[in-house]
C-alpha cells in the first residue's frame, strides 16, 4: 500500500505534500527534522491522506496535488472536511 499525504505545519499553517509506503514512519521523520524540505517548519500534523495499491498511482497523485489545479483541489477537500483549514 502507498499513500499520498498532506501535512500542515503547526508553526505557520503551510502545507507539505508527499507520498510514502509507510505513513507513520514518514510523519515521524518529518517531525524529527530528517527531511530538508520540512525541517524548518516542524512540527507537522497529518491533515489528509489517500491510499493507493501501487507506487505509481501515489506518485502521480502527489504530482497532481502540487500543481495549480491540485492546490485548488486541496483547498476544496480541506474546507469540506475541516471547514476552513486551507
**Residue 3: how many CB atoms within 10 A of its CB?**
20
pLDDT at 85: 56
Domains in the chain, please, with CATH?
2-82 (3.40.1440)
The tens place of each residue's pLDDT in the chain, 86 residues long, gives 999 999 999 999 999 999 999 999 999 999 999 999 999 999 999 999 999 999 999 999 999 999 999 999 988 888 887 776 55
The pTM score is 0.89
From residue 8, how far is each of 4, 32, 57 by CA, in Å? 14, 15, 22
pLDDT at 61: 98
pLDDT at 82: 77
Region for 45 from its dihedrals, namely left if φ exceeds 0, alpha if ψ lies in -120 to 50, beta otherwise: beta
Amino acid at each position: 500500500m502507498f499513500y499520498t499525504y498532506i501535512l500542515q505545519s503547526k508553526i505557520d499553517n503551510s502545507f507539505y505534500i508527499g507520498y510514502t509506503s509507510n505513513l507513520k514512519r514518514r510523519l515521524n521523520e518529518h517531525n524529527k527534522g530528517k527531511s530538508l524540505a520540512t525541517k524548518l517548519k516542524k512540527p507537522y500534523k497529518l491533515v489528509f491522506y489517500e491510499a493507493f495499491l501501487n507506487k505509481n498511482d501515489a506518485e502521480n497523485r502527489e504530482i497532481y496535488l502540487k500543481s495549480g489545479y491540485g492546490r485548488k483541489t486541496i483547498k476544496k477537500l480541506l474546507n469540506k472536511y475541516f471547514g476552513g483549514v486551507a
